Structure 1
């Protein structure tokens, strides 16, 4: 009997038939296409049943979308308003936060917020957190609950990077700012109590795009070392015609038109969107070989779902250790929205992310 080709078993999308695709087909799939779409399985047409607490955010509920999030202060767990960046702040959750202006990057300085557990050891391992929301929305107050959970759960310092947002600055400024912060931490982190040899990068949405780009640059340049990467509903391509884009184009918090607008703000030249640092799904297998282990989290009702899962498959094909998980019943940004509307799904995803990062930062095999 001829040898069988290895298969990649995809997460169940609620269809009755199993979905499998040969590894060779993943390699041949056009960038931006989910392997299941390439194999012809497509969508079974079942309408996702969302977590009840999140039902108000899709258009089918209260009409909320990614462009009309609640005020960031409303997303903080304690309900306090944010009066701008603080130089030093204690909070009642067992963490402290400080702001620094690091002398690095193409613009000369990059602001970062460092949040650590009270009484934690220094120098601390680092969770480099790159926020999302289209690079034009969101701030440290918006992500405050997640940042605190990451700091306490990973027993590490969370470095939130306040990179310049589009459209005021365009690609590749944000990428280079984030890379410069990682490089500064590697070289000078101990000056502010950070362990530059133990950095895990976590990125949400467009921040996931930046984390993926950061790993590619680190491999190419060799002066930054990351022990793990976590991509939360990442942007990996500028293809707006995947199965998940078509299926969730409207009505599920993040719309296809939102992503078109975000890409126009960030990188208006269409031909440059094929660059690997802009669209990591376009990277060659050679560029992906040797990247740090990855956790890729996707949401069922998300236009970005297929490109995130396709990127996870490409990483796996390149030999990168990958855990890829699709969480059912939630839209894009469900972890962030969980601060306002807690769900069991958001808690489960948070525990998985925190546990993964904690293990990566605290094992002593290096």
Structure 2
């Protein structure tokens, strides 16, 4: 696997021998993603968190993480996994969701949305939006607070989170308190300096992005709900945290979207991390990943409640 000069040493040590999840062949990509998740390693359980699976909103599978040490209703994060719209499931994000619930006292609803190319846009977005609406309507049933519902996700999950926020604003959907966009997919036009520069692995590159959009769009033109960078007006969206990674083809579209949110008057934290690549915070053994996960948890706590409310 080709690694960019300047990549964090901890990341380089792990990724040098890790499988690359190319997206040309969905079946092979899904197998490679399972191997990658197993290789990166995540905690399987946390005594502070009750984890249950169920099907909601007429057929959308979700995994619910309830923080058992929280007294009273907890804020809710509806989380969408990454994987280029083609691969992945809640297992990708199990460790992250455990930490958000156990360390942050957040009730997390992790969504197992339908994948392309078998189910191209808008199938995955429809699942995510339906799960978000369900979480808002039924928050009290899993210890959540319907007044503090956020959306979040990484990579393709970041695109879905941004799109759910746009759609909720446009359609008068569930009132969202926050959106957390981690190295998000946002622009199908693929015409930024970082997209042109990042043509080699690790984890995700320009070739992968081209296959991703081909599978997800199914030959149809992109709308702002498929590629949120195409949205003309970002005013009225919930407060945001946007994370960009230096060695990521998606870096510049994330930075631009964050700047546009700020310009539209949306309270936004825009974070660029040097020396890291797309999906870096999934490498549990890397210090940069631990710092990023801790920052994400603290961002959620700061925006959704204070630590004094957690026992």
The answer, yes or no, to whether TM exceeds 0.5 is yes
| Long gaps (5+) in structure 1 | 1-46, 81-90
2:172 to 212, 218, 222: 222
Q: Please give the alpha-carbon distance, in whole angstroms, between the structure 2 residues aligned to 1:143 and 1:188.
A: 22
Structure with the bigger percentage of helix = 2
Partner of residue 159, structure 2: 209
- How big is each residue's C-alpha offset from its partner over 1:302-348, in whole Å with a ceiling of 9 and x where there is no partner? 01101111111111111111111111111100111x22xx2222222
Partner of residue 62, structure 1: 17
Q: Does 1:77 align with 2:32?
A: no
Q: Does 1:252 align with 2:202?
A: yes
Taking the TM superposition and a 5 Å limit, the aligned residue runs for 1:83-232 are: 91-102=45-56, 104=57, 108-232=58-182
TM-score by length of 1: 0.75
Q: Does 1:302 align with 2:252?
A: no
Residue 250 of structure 1 and its aligned partner are, at CA, apart by 1.1
Alpha-carbon distance change, 316 to 163 in structure 1, aligned in 2, over 3 angstroms: same
Q: Please give the alpha-carbon distance, in whole angstroms, between the structure 2 residues aligned to 1:159 and 1:331.
A: 26
Residue 63 of structure 1 and its aligned partner are, at CA, apart by 6.5
1:312 to 243, 258, 263: 258
1:269 to 219, 228, 235: 219
Instruction: Give the number of aligned pairs.
Output: 293
Q: Does 1:345 align with 2:288?
A: yes
Residue 225 of structure 1 and its aligned partner are, at CA, apart by 1.1
Spell out structure 1 runs of 4+ moving beyond 6 A: none
- How big is each residue's C-alpha offset from its partner over 1:171-226, in whole Å with a ceiling of 9 and x where there is no partner? 11111111111111222222333222211111100000001101111111113111
- How big is each residue's C-alpha offset from its partner over 1:282-302, in whole Å with a ceiling of 9 and x where there is no partner? 1113xx111011110011000
Provide the secondary structure at the position in 2 that maps to 1:143.
helix
TM-score by length of 2: 0.88
Q: Please give the alpha-carbon distance, in whole angstroms, between the structure 2 residues aligned to 1:309 and 1:57.
A: 27
* Root-mean-square deviation over aligned CA pairs: 1.9
Partner of residue 227, structure 2: 279
| Long gaps (5+) in structure 2 | 23-31, 307-311
